[in-house]
Amino acid sequence: MATSVPAGGRCGYFVEKKRRFCRMVAASGKRFCGEHAAAAEEENARKRILCPLDPKHTVYEDQLAKHLKKCNSREKPKPDFFIQDINAGLKDETELPEILVPLSSLSEEQLENLIKKLRKASEGLNSTLPDRIMSHPALHDALNDPKNGDSATKHLKQQASILGNIEKLKLLGPRRCFVEFGAGKGKLSHWVDIALKDAENVHFILVEKGTTRFKVDGKHRKKNSVFERLQIDIQHLCLNKISVLREGTLPVVGIGKHLCGVATDLALRCLLETCAVHHEERHGEPMAKRVKNSETERESHTVAREGCDNSAPEMQSPVAGIVLALCCHHRCDWRHYVGQEHFRALGLGATEFHYFQRMSSWATCGMRKTVGSSNTTPRRQEQEQEREDEGEEHEIGGCRATDDSDGLLGLLSVEEKKKIGHLCKLLIDHGRTQYLQQKGFSPALQYYTDPLVSLENVLLTALPNPFSPPETIV
C-alpha cells in the first residue's frame, strides 16, 4: 500500500512506476539517495550521468574517471587460460554465407531441393541408434527419493545414464581430470565425484561462461578431489594453461550434459586441437612419436588405459575419453562446426548447413505442452519460467528455437517434419564423428535416455583409437 511520506531516513523520491517512494537510504542531512539526488537541484547541483559501462546505473559526472576504475561492470583482467578465439575454427570470412532468408520465405521448389540434398547426403547412415540407457548405484537413493518432482527425476535419470556410460567406457577411476563443459550448477561432476568415492588424485574443471546460481561444486570437501570452476566461453579456453593440466600428468576426460549446439564443436576443438597441440609443443614431439622416459609419465598413460587392450601402443592422446550429451542443433554455427570437411565432401556448404541446422528443430519443437496450457497452475508456470531463465529449457523436453517454417505446414505433415529434423541432427552429428575419427578417436552415437525423459537424448562418446567402444556407430 502506497504511503504519503517516505519512511524515516529513506529517499524522498516517488517512483511513479512502482507507486511508492524509493526505499534506498539517504545520506545524513539529505532528502534523496545518490541515485535520485539529481531530482533535487536545490539540494545537489552536481550532475549525474549514465555509466558508460552499464547504463543501468548512474554516476556523478565529476567522479566518472574514479568510478570507471572500480565499476563492477568494468572489463576484468584475462586469465592465462584465456586465448582469444583459440577454438573458434573458421577464420576465412569469405566462406560464410551471405544473409539468408528464413525457412518460411523459401519457395516450395527451394525447400524440396534442400530436402533432396539432405536425403542424398544421409544415404547409408543408420538412423536407428542403439539404446544405451543405463544407471549407476551412486544415484540410487536420489532417484528413489519420494520428494522428487517430475523435473528433478528427469535430470537424475539423465545424469545416472551418463554416469553409467562413463563407467562402461572405463573412464571412471582415480588420477584423472574431468572437464565438464557447460557445467551449469555442476551436478554431473557432483555425481561423478560421488561415484568415485575415495579415489585418489581426481581433479574437476567446471567450464561455464555465465554466472550460475545454486552451484553444488563448492559443497565438496573431499581431500582426494579438487573442484575448479572457470567462468569463460569455451571458444577462448586453452586447457593447457590451467595449472593442473600444464604438466600433462593427468589424463583428461571431457564430459557434458546437454551441451548446446555450437558449444559441442567448441568443446571438441578445445580437447582435440588446443590440448593436443599444446601438449606436443610442451614435450617437443608429437604424442604418437614421443618415447616416455619416466615412471610417472608411464603411470599416467597406464591409468588412461585401465581395463582396455593392453597391446595398444604406449603413446596416446592426453584426452582419455569424451562423453557428451548433445543438444539444440539449431544453435550450431558453420564458423565453428567441426564437420565442415565432411559436409564439403558431400557437396554441401555453409548455406545447406544453415538450413539443415534450422530444420533440425523440427525434431523437437512443439512436442511439449505449452507453459500456458489450461492444466498448468500459476505456480507451475512460475517454476517453468525460472528454469528457462536459468538456461535449462532444453533439459525439460524441448527447445526454444523459433520455428520459422509456418508457411510450410501445408507442404509437410508433422511426422514428415519430425523425420526430417532427426535426419538433420544425424547428419550434423555424423560430421562430428568423422572429425573425431580424423583426430584418432573411435566415436559412437547412442540413445542414453528415453524420449519421454528428454527429446534431446543422444550421447556422443569417443575413446582414443586403440580402444574399441562397443558397437561404434559411424
CA 135/CA 157 separation, integer angstroms:
7
pTM (two decimals): 0.75
15, β-bridge pairs: 20
CA 353/CA 238 separation, integer angstroms:
27
Decide if domain 108-276+317-365+412-464 falls under CATH 3.40.50.150: yes
Residue 313 has a pLDDT of: 36
C-alpha atoms less than 13 angstroms from C-alpha of 130 in its C-beta half-sphere = 13
Phi–psi pair at 51, nearest 5 degrees: -65, 130
Nearest in space to 327 (alpha carbons), one of 271, 235, 396, 387: 396
Residue 75 has a pLDDT of: 84
Each residue's pLDDT tens digit, 405-442: 555 556 788 899 999 999 999 999 999 999 999 999 99
CA 219/CA 221 separation, integer angstroms:
6
CA angle 411, 415, 417 (to 5 degrees): 55
436 three-state secondary structure: helix
Considering only CA atoms, give the Rg of the chain: 26
CA 472/CA 244 separation, integer angstroms:
32
Residue-range domain boundaries for the chain: 108-276+317-365+412-464
Q: Which residues of the chain have pLDDT under 50?
A: 42-43, 284-315, 368-400, 468-474
The answer for residues whose C-beta is within 8 angstroms of residue 461's C-beta and 6 or more apart is 165, 169, 321, 322, 323, 324, 443, 444, 446, 469
Does an H or E element contain 149, and which? none
Residue 7's Cβ-count burial label (10 Å; 0-12, 13-18, 19+) is exposed
Residue 100 has a pLDDT of: 83
Contact 431, 342 (CB under 8 A): yes
Residue 27 has a pLDDT of: 85
For every residue of 224-288, DSSP letters joined together read TEEEEEE-S-GGGB-GGGSHHHHS--S-EEEEEEEEETHHHHHHHHIIIIIHHHHHHHHHSS-TT
Each residue's pLDDT tens digit, 230-282: 999 999 999 989 988 887 789 999 999 999 899 999 999 999 987 765 555 55
